[in-house]
Structures are given as C-alpha cells and as structure tokens.
Structure 1
Amino acid sequence: MTITESHRPGSDTWSDARLLYALEEVVETELNRHLAVAKEWMPHEYVPWSDGRNFDGIMGGEAWAPEQSKVTDIGRIALVVNLLTEDNLPSYHHEIASLFGRDGAWGTWVHRWTAEEGRHGIVMRDYLLTSRAVDPVELERFRMMHMSEGFESDNRHSMLHSVAYVAFQELATRVSHRNTGHQSGDPVCDRMLARIATDENLHMVFYRNLLAAALQLAPDLTMQAIRDVVVQFRMPGHGMPGFERAAARMAIGGIYNLRIHHDDVLQPVLRHLKVLEVTGLSPDGLRAQEELGMFMGGLNDQAVKFDERKLALEARRAARAS
C-alpha cells in the first residue's frame, strides 16, 4: 500500500492511536496475505514419539543422563534458550495486545500470531522430552524462573518502536532456530526447527512490510524508531537464567553472534526497506539516519574483530586436539 502525501501529517501530529488507525488498512492487507501463504502444520508430526520412555519419579522410569541425548552440546544449550524464549508467549501476547489492541485487523493479527507462536513451544518441548535431548528437571526449573520474571519490552517509547523491534526480532529468531537445527547433529531436530523458522520468516515479512508503510506515513518518526531499536537491540530471552553464558557459547558455536546479527538480521531488513536511502527527512530524521549508518559501520568492525578471535580460538582447539 502506498501512503499519499495528503495522508502524511507532520511528525508532531502523530500519536500512537492515530498511527494505529492510519495503518489499519495495511495490517488488513498483510493479514490476508499471511493467511493465504501460511500452511497448516501439526506439531505432533515432528516429534519422534517412538523414542519416548518414562523418566524417574512417580512413573518409576529412567533418570536423564547427558549420553542419552542425540544432539550436540551446543545444540542442547541453544535449544533450551530457544524454548525458554518461546515459553514467555503469555507475556509477549500481553505486550502486543496492550499496544495494538484486540479489535479489527490489529486484534485478528495479534491472536493469529499468538496461536502460531504457541505451536513452536509445543513441538519443541515435546521433541526435547521425547528424545531426551535435555535435562527435564533443569528445563522446568529454568521455565519457572524465566516465566515468573515475566517480560517487559525494551522498546516502550512508541508503537513504531515496537513494530521496528519485532521486524528485526522475528528474523533474529528465525536465524537462531535455523542455525540451531544445523548445529544440533540430529536430522529430526533440524527438520522441526526448519518448520518453526518458516513461521518466523512469515511473521518477519508481516512486520517488515508494516514498517515499510510506516516509513512512508511518518518517515522521521519511523527512522528514529529504527535507529533506537537497532542500536539498543537485545533478544527477548535476555532475562532468562544463565543467558549471558549461554549466549557466549552460542556465539562461538555459530548459532548467533555479531557477524550473524549484522549480516543475516540487521542488513537484510535495512537493505530491503532502503532505510539508508530514504530522502526528504527532517533534521531529526536525517540525524537518526546518519547515526544508524555510523552504528552499522561500527558493528561491522566489531564483527570483524569477533571473527578474528573466533578463528584464533578454533585454531587453538584444533592444535590441542591434534
């Protein structure tokens, strides 16, 4: 949808309520597109049920041990992080429902998105427990701690900040799931996470297209929101127990790191939207655009240094192994 000049007031006239109303038609278009391309799938079909058996406890089964897991060490770490992130769905639903509302096209999208995301937690937990991929006791304790803390977005400045955040976050989640599958060492796990990643990509497209419309409608405010989100970006699971240590392991293991964040998450969205090529901005919008460009350059420099350290670490490990 193209926003005409006659529907583009100055930045000082935009409130969240007005933006929500102005973008309602775009949301409806994107919702219909999403429903037309999204394919139904059944979580139970991706779980190796025949591998399951009782755990110790009231069922008198076998206690979990690391050697029972088919996935790699880095796969176990990433799977726990990814599932705990999905587990906080009630908090995410509350966040976006409070912001976008529960009526009209916005509300229909909020509920549809929540239903689709719910499948991800279902299939991941069923796979992990049935295949004995991770310690079930530790997983449940982590879930209780993480969900008891709830979730509060870092991007509470405006509706545009939230739309910008999820455009990048959905792609980041897709990339994390896909790389976890590749590194898991289990084809069943890889297939399951590929299916989840397909959903996440469709969610990213929805929000990315909505962000494109916002750039036409309120370019200065949207540019500032994109700048803020990119510079301050954190994954939604940052508050879970042991996240920093797990994130460091996932970075070295090639699941998610600075190079991946720059090349596979930020750049594709910015390039698709031509964010750094937008013209006609006010001084505030132009400053945000310039700061975004400088930040991306600095992030790439950091990624180069990370790549060098990662290669050096891998070389030392290879030397010790030989």
Structure 2
Amino acid sequence: MTLDETRLPVGEMSTAVDDFLAASPAARAWDVETAFDWSAADAGLLTEGQRSAVRFITLIEDHLPGYFDVYHRNFPVDDTVAPELFVHNRELYHFTVRWALEEDTHARALARYQTAAGIAEPAPLREELAIEGRKHFDLPYEHPVQFFAYALVQEKATQMYYQQLRDVVGDPVLASVLTRLSRDEARHFTFFADVVTRYLRVHGDAAVGPIRDVVANFRMPLADTMRGYWRWALRIADVADYDHTAAYEHLLKVIDRAVDTPTDRVDELLDFIAQCRAVR
C-alpha cells in the first residue's frame, strides 16, 4: 500500500477531529493561573515517594515539544507533501494543536505545583527540565495507525496513573491538579481510540500487524532517553499501585468493538495483547 492508502480517508479523520472538538469546547478549558489555590499547596502533606512521583511526571509532561514534533514530522503540513495528503494532515492538525495546548498546560501545572508546594525552586527546576527536554524523542513507526495505537495506550496508562496517584496523595491541591489532568487524558484517549477504531473498520487486517508491533515493543515516553528511568518508574509505580499494561485491557475493548466479524489475524492480535498483559 502507498503512504496515501495507509492513512484514513480525509472524511474519517475530519469526523474524528470534529467529534473530539465538539466534546471539548474551548469554553470548558482550564488554566494554570486560576484553576487552583496555589497558596495552599503543601508538599509537607506528601510522602517522599509521592514527591518523587510529582517530579517524575513533570519531566514526562514537559517533553511536549518533542511529542508534538513527532506529529509535525510524520504528518507534515507544508509543501513536502502532495495536496491530497496535506488535506488529511491539516484535519489532524486541528486536533494536535488542541492536544498540545492541553498537554503543555499539564506540564505548567505540575511545575507550578512543585514551586508552590516547596518541592523545587523555579530556576533549578527549569534547568532540570531542560536536561531531558533537549533530548530527541521519536516513535520509529512506518504505518500511520501505529502513532494512534501508541498514543491510545500511553494516554490511557497516564490517565490511570493520575487517578490512582490522586487517590493516595495527602495534599488536596495536588489531588485537584491530578483530577484535571486525568480528565484531559481520558478525552485524549477517546480520540485516539476513535481513530484506531476507524483504521480497523477501513483497513481491516492491514492494520492488525502494525498495531501488534506497537504492543510488542511498547515503551512509555522517555523510557529510552531519561537517565535512571526504569528505577524511577518502578519506584513511582509502587506509590500508586500502577502497571501501564493495565491500559492494554482498553485496547482490547477498542479492537473487539471495532471488528464485527473477527478474522484469524484479529483473533491472534487479541490473544497476543492478552498474553502481554498477563506476562507483565
């Protein structure tokens, strides 16, 4: 299949984007400056593990420029693509700029919490974030559906972690921040799930192999670039009883609902995902 043939028809992508934006009107957006009582933030109400978790997720969220660049490079909106492909990518861009704004708000909220609660001072925090933020981020995929399948799992896993961390933290301000973040991640997951569903309905078995490859080689963002990532990730997982493979259950549901008559390849994919979840 050519690059054009592996992408969703423009109408399918446009509908997915329109549905997301209709469910997420700008009037319902929140901002860092007024959504929380920062004067009440108190890291003294957190355990050492919870403070470590806040530092970790701030680093992950703050890498937004790298994540956004992945979409710019793989779904360009410039003269490097033919007009037909530009139209598809331009429709997707309506989503990615809203998504980027919301993710950048997450990064700012977590950094603001750190400074307001006494976890970090502004200047050293900016320097710490720059160490990881300057590192290149990439998703080495060839099929367009893979970018959406990866984001589906990543957004759901992030949502689940924020919810579980919220339930154990002692500072009400941080709990409020995590509630806002988890709601946004849930909406992002819904968009990516919708797009993956459309890929499966349009392309059928041709989308199965690429999705399988995503699951087989899945790593959360920055897992391959952040120094000490795995030790830190295991430590913060214990803080909120977290396992990112729990998000695979939601991928299974998306595939099951998308395919009316499962083929052998779809059945194999479902079995493979279930086995990955069991092994983890």
Common fold: TM-score over 0.5: yes
Q: Decide whether aligned partners of structure 1 residues 293 and 149 sit closer, same or farther in structure 2, where only a CA change above 3 A counts.
A: same
For structure 2, which runs of at least 5 residues remain unmatched after alignment? 78-88
Q: Deviations along 1:223-281, whole A, 9 cap, x unmatched? A: 11221111211111312232111111123223422xxx343x11122113307966464
The TM-score normalised by the length of structure 1 is: 0.74
Matched, 1:226 2:211: yes
- Which has the higher Rg, Structure 1 or Structure 2? 1
> What is aligned with 2:5?
18
Shift of the alpha carbon at 1:74?
Answer: 2.0
RMSD of aligned alpha carbons? 2.6
Match of 2:253 among 255, 271, 291: 271
State how far apart, in whole Å, the 2-side matches of 1:28 and 1:291 are: 28
Asked if the contact 1:142/1:240 (under 8 Å) is kept, the reply is: no
How many Å separate the matches in 1 of 2:212 and 2:71? Answer: 21
**For residues 63-74 of structure 1, what are the structure 2 equivalents within 5 Å?**
69-74=44-49
Q: Is the 8 A contact 2:46 2:171 kept in 1?
A: yes
CA contact (8 A) 1:48 1:130 kept: no
State, as a whole percentage, how many aligned pairs show the same letter.
25
Task: Name the residue aligned to 2:73.
Answer: 98
8 Å Cα contact 1:181/1:193 also seen in 2 = yes
The residue correspondences of 1:83-122 to structure 2 (distance < 5 A) are 83-102=58-77, 103-122=89-108
Matched, 1:142 2:128: yes
What is the CA deviation profile of residues 84-137 of structure 1, one whole-angstrom value per residue up to 9, with x for unaligned ones? 111111111110122223353112112121112111111111111111134767
Native 8 Å contact 1:88 1:147 kept in 2: yes
DSSP-derived class of the 2:196 partner: helix
Equivalent position of 1:206 in the other structure = 191
Which residue of structure 1 aligns with residue 150 of structure 2? 165
**Alignment CA distance shift 1:25-1:129 (3 Å):** same
Amino acid at match of 1:125: A
> Which of 55, 60, 81 lines up with 2:56 in the alignment?
81
CA-to-partner distance for each residue in 1:173-215, whole Å, 9 max, x for gaps? 1112222222322111011111111111111111111100100
Q: TM-score with structure 2 length normalisation?
A: 0.84
Report SS of the residue matched to 1:45: coil
- Tell me how far 1:289 sits from its aligned partner: 4.2
Matched, 1:246 2:228: no
Task: For residue 85 of structure 1, give the secondary structure of its aligned residue in structure 2.
Answer: helix
Distance in 2 (alpha carbons) for counterparts of 1:74 and 1:191: 19
**Which region of structure 1 is more displaced relative to structure 2, 100-109 or 286-295?**
286-295
Q: Name the SS of the counterpart of 1:42 in structure 2.
A: coil
Count residues in correspondence: 265
Deviation at 1:169, TM superposition (A): 1.0
> Which fold has the larger relative contact order, with Cα–Cα distance below 8 Å and residues 6 or more apart in sequence?
2
